[in-house]
Structure 1
Amino acid sequence: MSVRGAALWSMGAQYATFTVQFAASVIISRFFLLPADVGLFSIALAAAMLVSIFQDLGITRFISGQPQMEPGALPFYAGVAVTIGWSVALVVTLAAPLVAHLYEEPALAPLLWLIAASYLITPYATVPAALLVRAMDFRALFKVNAGSALAGNGTAVALAAMGFGAGSLAWGVLATALVRAALANWQRPVRPRLPRVLAAVRPMLGFSSMSFVLSASAAIGQRSQDLIVGRLLGLAATGLFSRASALAGQLTTLLTGAIGTVFYAAFARKRDAGEPLAEPYLHLVACYTALNWAAMLGLALAAEPLVMLLYGPNWMGTASLLRWTALGEIFFVAVPLQMDVPLLLGQIRRLVWVNLLDTFAAVAILTAGAWISLEAAGLSRIAYGFVWWVIYASYLARLMAFPFTALLRVYLRSGTCALAAGLPLLLARWSGHGGAEMPFLHLLALSGLGVGLWLITLALTRHPAWGEVRAMLTALATPLRARLGR
């Protein structure tokens, strides 16, 4: 499968998954759960995910990124994944009462037990899904991701409607794991087996030893957010903060999350062929920033009407947090594949130290903000985003030996296109018509106008993303023309 073909299927999976997750979050938040309910689940999930860093140990990256792979070792890799997953489930189960006591919320324990049950199932999908990525079979991966998202989120909505409260979200996690494991093994079955000798899995374990340190550091920085906010500001504040972070993150994943998965496999092939990565990486940065910067600026400008329309008045405290989170996301998408490229180039040890610095900044900045107020916690995302960008932009520029000025030139063109896209919403705010009372059709019209201005500016500035947009439209239109011709 070509890179563009893989990207189309991967983007299709992201769109389908986003649509299902987004629709479920809107329905659940607007009709069934309050911020405190979502905050309770967010704390439970964050606590469980801090332990789940042991689960993958880099197995997915190892399988999808290795130049050569011994097929006979795959059942052993799957056996290791299952063993680790069951161990993680046991730790989460035993830790559940302690977490509930720490937060003085007895309802946390049963939520953690349900999430622990999902960790018994999740590792059965690890190796099959990694093999699909390695083969760039994103058509099959579409079925796995979209199908499991539909099952999990459908379960959560149904149980929320029946009055299960925060537990409905935990049952949704378990349903997602069950269906994902079943579909992944249907597409690429791998039967786990425990290795009789350590030599059978030594290459993976050698990679995983440093990958674990890397994953642990990243997890502390990313997954401790809800724990910090929950401890300092309470359940309702955690629900509002979590919803803002999720909405901005889901939109980023929708737009370019699929591209990153495809380019990891594509960059691995370029590395194996001895080709330089600087030029294709700058092209990737251009595509990332062109799409995400326009979307994040629009999300920040339309935060109030969007939250009111989607979640209702109970969630209006999310609006200002969403604005700061979206603006902070501009920094995070400016350096894509910041973990994957160093791994592909064999720089895992240095990446560990860089990531530890990033983790310290993440925890320190958010803690300082949450200590002041919820609003300050939201603003801290911008401060941390800038620090994060400085760390990784300078690191990758040195690693791939591209001039920093080339990166800034890409940012200039993407920033110009983003400002053009946000101009209609910006004018509406200046004129006093951009508040929470903005009608849906008005918001839709302004957003559509922004998309039009964005496309025009892409073409006028000869942005690299313009060629990709045209190529994608051509690829989508060709089968349609053929059907119409027949």
Structure 2
Amino acid sequence: MSVRRGLAWMSLSQGGFFVIQFGGSVILARLLTPYELGVYAVAAAVIGVIGAVQAFGLAGFVVREHELSPDLLASTFTINACLAAMLAAAIVGLSSVSSSFLRETGVRNVMMVLATLPLLGAFEFLPSTNLERRGRFELISLVSLMRALSATAVTVGLAFCGFSFMSIAYGNVAGAVVSIVLFNTLGRQHVSFRLSLSEWRRVTKFGLQMVAISGVNALGGRAAELVMGRLLGLSALGLYARASSLNSLLWDNIHLVIGRVVFVDFADLRRKGVSLHDSYLRTVDVVTAVLWPAFAGFAILSGPLIETVYGDKWVGAAQPLSLLSVAAIVLVSITMTWEVFVVCGETGRQARFEVFRAGAGLALFSIGCTVGLVGAATARIGEAILSLFLYRPHLERLTETRLREFLPIYARSAALTLIAVAPATALMVLRGWSEHTPLLSVLTAIGAGIAGWLLALRWLRHPLQSELTRLAGSFRTLRQAS
């Protein structure tokens, strides 16, 4: 499947996913308190710390490899299943300890339910990764959408019935079950439960490097949430989790979608011996043109957006959301770092970088927590700047690019960002940056910003303009095919 066709499918899926996830979060915000969300968030954080060991990145291994023998696939399945069992046992074992540490029995109850997730995930590993390797994004999109729909429906339904924070845990399990059934049905030719350790050295070497990359990253993030829960309380953690989840809506629904498709494309280019130069520059051009304005808009309109959508009890999440959005803008400038390092076989180097970055980031975040929510969120900006200096030289080396080639790209994206957020900025200045700014005024400013952004794309003859045109053509093709 072509990159644009794959991106079209993933965009359709994530558009639906965004509507489901955002709609569900709005309903839950009316049903749950910041404290209740904090209980779930801290349980998920403990699991994230334990789960760092499961971040073996074996899905990326399957996608990246030139040749996949039956023994190699069996070895990856076996190692992944073993890690899942170990993780589930560790979650159960530490559930009571975590509950006592945070003085909340609900943490143990949530962890006991979520302990089933890694075990369930092991049964969809081979069909899902093989479908991704083959670029079957239409099937992956369908499964992702149905998982989100079922998880949200169960979560909201149980929350209405008074299950409090447990509704989120049960919803996640329901979504996982739906995902397993669909992946094993749609990718049944890839289903195999054969066990083998014949290729364990090769798989483990890659996996350990990925633990140091993705695992350490997850470990740092989850440990930071535990620190906040301990120092600032579960209500504060609930507010921060709300800000972080809103920030993730953009990151997960745009950046990660593009990343999944681009990763397959980058891996294919490397297998053919083609330089990543042109593809990477175009990716940076497109991603910054989309995400810089989006995150900047979040930063400016965070107050009225949160007050209108979630209510007064969540207004405390507005400032952290603004600061997290600024950190995201910095990170977008070095987009697709993981994808580039993995396909270029530089996972060892990236592992060392991530250990240093995660440690420094946790230290900064802990110091920030002594100031409060704003201090903690500000620390994320410092961590993003550190990542920029760590990765920039090596991204240029691996993609055979130079800084001077990025400067025109950044200038165009900055101009697009200023045009897009000008109406929102003017509105908030006139309203004294009040979170009670009328919704109609906010929507008008957003609409004016989008219109200006689209006109600027056309005037600048930005590559995104042609990509959007081709993507629209792919959508028409998909509609005709259906």
2:355 corresponds in structure 1 to 356
**Corresponding residue number in structure 2 for 1:199:** 198
Mapped partners of 1:382, 1:416: distance in 2: 22
Describe how 1:32-181 pairs up with structure 2 within 5 A.
Answer: 32-71=31-70, 73-181=72-180
Residues of 2 paired with 1:228 and 1:19: CA distance? Answer: 32
1:233 CA displacement: 0.5
CA–CA distance in 2 between the matches of 1:429 and 1:213? 42
Q: Give per-residue Cα distances to partners, 1:203-230, cap 9 Å, x unaligned.
A: 3223223222323321222322321211
**SS of 1:107's equivalent?**
helix
Contact 2:117 2:173 survives alignment (8 Å):
yes
The worse-fitting range, judged by mean Cα deviation, of 207-216 and 454-463 is 207-216
Aligned to 1:334: 333
| Aligned counterpart, 2:11 | 11
CA RMSD, aligned part only? 1.8
Read off the aligned partner of 1:171 and give its amino acid letter: Y
Q: Is the 8 A contact 2:212 2:355 kept in 1?
A: no
Other structure's SS at 1:336 match: coil
Kindly state the Cα deviation for residue 479 of structure 1 after the two structures are TM-superposed: 6.4
Residue 91 of structure 1: CA displacement? 0.7
SS in 1 for 2:173: helix
Partner of 1:300: 299
Q: Report if the CA contact (8 A) 1:425-1:434 is conserved.
A: no
Rounded Cα–Cα distance in structure 2 between residues aligned with 1:394 and 1:215: 20
How many Å separate the matches in 1 of 2:481 and 2:146? 29
* Residues 341-361 of structure 1: per-residue CA shift (max 9 Å, x gap): 111111111111111121122
Whether the 8 Å contact between 1:366 and 1:377 is mirrored in structure 2 is: yes
Tell me which moved more, 36-45 or 380-389.
380-389
Aligned to 1:183: 182
TM-score, normalised to structure 2, is 0.95
1:435 aligns with: 434
- Aligned partners of 1:442 and 1:434: how far apart in 2? 13
Partner AA of 2:227 in structure 1: I
Q: 1:166 is aligned with what amino acid? A: F
In structure 1, C-alpha distance between the alignment counterparts of 2:92 and 2:318, rounded to whole Å: 35
How many angstroms does 1:94 deviate by?
Answer: 0.3
Say whether residues 1:23 and 2:23 are aligned partners.
yes
Amino acid at match of 2:99: A
Looking at structure 2, the residues matched to 76 and 433 of structure 1 have their Cα atoms a distance apart, in angstroms, of: 60
Q: Judging changes above 3 Å, is the alpha-carbon distance between structure 1 residues 464 and 163 closer, same or farther for their aligned structure 2 residues?
A: same
Contact 1:285 1:336 in 2 (8 A): yes
CA distance in 1: counterparts of 2:70 and 2:187, whole angstroms: 12
Partner Cα separation in structure 1 for residue 392 and residue 466 of structure 2: 25
1:379 CA displacement: 1.9
Change (3 A) 1:104 1:66: same
Whether the 8 Å CA contact 1:81–1:124 is kept in 2: the answer is no
How much does 1:71 deviate?
4.0
Correspondence list, 1:337-486, <5 A: 337-432=336-431, 435-477=434-476
The aligned amino acid for 1:452 is A
* Residue in 1 that maps onto 2:2: 2
Contact 2:126 2:192 in 1 (8 A): no
AA in 2 matched with 1:192: F
Q: Which amino acid aligns with 2:320?
A: L
SS class of match (2:336): coil
Structure 1: distance between partners of 2:247 and 2:452: 22
Task: Identify which range, 335-344 or 73-82, moves more after superposition.
Answer: 73-82
Identity of counterpart residues, as a percentage? 28
Q: Give the residue type in structure 1 aligned to 2:158.
A: L
Alignment of 1:171-320 (within 5 A): 171-189=170-188, 190-195=191-196, 198-320=197-319
The range that moved more, 360-369 or 458-467, is: 458-467
* SS state at 2:435 partner: coil
The alignment of Structure 1 onto Structure 2 pairs a total of residues equal to 480
Q: Give the whole-Å Cα distance in 1 for the aligned partners of 2:239 and 2:481.
A: 48
Q: Which moved more, 1:311-320 or 1:467-476?
A: 467-476
Contact 2:52/2:216 (8 A) holds in 1: no
